Amino acid sequence: MQLTEINIYPVKSTRRISLSECRVLPRGLEGDRRWMLIDDGNTFVTARNHPRLTLVQGKFTARDLLLTAPGMPALSIPLEPVPSATELVTIWRDKCPAVAVGEAPDRWFSEYLDFNCRLVFMREGDHRPVHPDYATPGDQVSFADGFPLLLISEGSLADLNSRLEQPASMRRFRPNIVVDARDAFAEDRWQRIRIGDVEFEGVKACSRCVFTTIDPDTGIKDPDLEPLRTLSKYRRRPEGGVFFGQNLIPRGNGTIRTGDQVEVLQQS
């Protein structure tokens, strides 16, 4: 079994950047979801309500994160924002520290989305803990929904696509890590894995939402709510929610690369 994709999403809800290798840090992959949009109440903004965010593409340079979007000039964001006052932002039930990036990106995103919003950044010293029901003390996460990384197997997507009239791209599910396991939903049982030299703990199956119905090429929601509707027919659990993919917490640092061997160390 091998690692076939590595993806990061620097600004929450924007397009992926696919990599051939990436450093694994305590809060997840380097550069993943370190930026996020907030509204006037300092609450997080996502493509669930602003689907056109999925069309914003990022590219890292030596000094900047370069963003492009349909109909907009390119926007360059420094990798380390000018120091500014720390503020608390809300993401789901969490409140965590962040800093404002600047007026230029605020204007850029507000114009693009036709909605007043601001861009914030999570610094190295800022800490957002993982929910204690699934973590050990000290575990942390970026602006991702709840966990440092998401893994999905190619076998799981193949199973779903066998049930759909129109196949769904893996991009709809926004995994950080894709592996070529053939058995559908084998990752549900993985409690500990090793990719290359880095170990990860599988802590919770990923509950899916309307985000999966947004076409990553057009930024438009599927009128039939596919593939979520089909998933809900056979991947709904008694405790509530429709599940697809496994959330991971790193249990070490290092670099992972596409082609790395993936070894299951413990499973249920």
Q: Which residues pair with 89 in a beta bridge?
A: 96
pLDDT of residue 235: 96
Regarding whether 115 and 100 lie in a shared domain, the answer is yes
Establish if 126 belongs to a structural domain: no
Average pLDDT over residues 56-78: 96
Regarding whether 136 and 115 lie in a shared domain, the answer is no
pLDDT of residue 184: 96
Q: Are 9 and 34 in contact (CB under 8 A)?
A: no
Q: What backbone phi and psi angles, to 5 degrees, belong to 32?
A: -85, 120
pTM for this predicted structure: 0.94
Residue 189 has pLDDT above 90, yes or no: yes
* Distance, CA of 154 to CA of 96 (rounded, Å): 34
Q: How many residues does the chain have?
A: 268
Q: What backbone phi and psi angles, to 5 degrees, belong to 106?
A: -60, -45
Regarding whether 253 and 145 lie in a shared domain, the answer is yes
pLDDT of residue 238: 83
- Domain end (from 121, 156, 171): 121
Regarding whether 53 and 183 lie in a shared domain, the answer is no
| pLDDT tens digits, one per residue of 194-223 | 999 999 999 999 999 999 999 999 999 999
Regarding whether 93 and 155 lie in a shared domain, the answer is no
Look at the chain and report how many structural domains it folds into.
2
pLDDT of residue 211: 96
CA separation (Å) from 63 to 59, 78, 80, 101, 256? 11, 6, 9, 15, 23
* Distance, CA of 34 to CA of 122 (rounded, Å): 5
| pLDDT tens digits, one per residue of 81-139 | 887 889 999 999 999 999 999 999 999 999 999 999 999 999 998 999 999 999 999 99
| pLDDT tens digits, one per residue of 145-185 | 999 999 999 999 999 999 999 999 999 999 999 999 999 99
DSSP category for residue 268: -
Beta strands in the chain (DSSP E): 3-8, 17-19, 21-25, 28-29, 35-38, 44-45, 57-60, 64-68, 75-78, 86-91, 94-100, 118-121, 149-153, 177-179, 190-195, 198-208, 242-250, 254-257, 262-267
Location of structure tokens 């007026």? 103
Q: Are 68 and 74 in contact (CB under 8 A)?
A: yes
- Domain end (from 73, 96, 121): 121
CATH number of the domain bearing residue 7? 2.40.33.20
Residue type, 234: Y
pLDDT of residue 240: 82
Establish if 255 belongs to a structural domain: yes
Residue 176's domain comprises 3-28+131-267
Average pLDDT over residues 243-255: 97
Regarding whether 111 and 44 lie in a shared domain, the answer is yes
- Domain end (from 121, 146, 164): 121
pLDDT of residue 83: 76
Q: Average model confidence (pLDDT) for the chain? A: 96
Regarding whether 233 and 165 lie in a shared domain, the answer is yes
Average pLDDT over residues 46-54: 96
In the structure encoding, which two tokens stand for residue 68, read together?
Answer: 């492009």
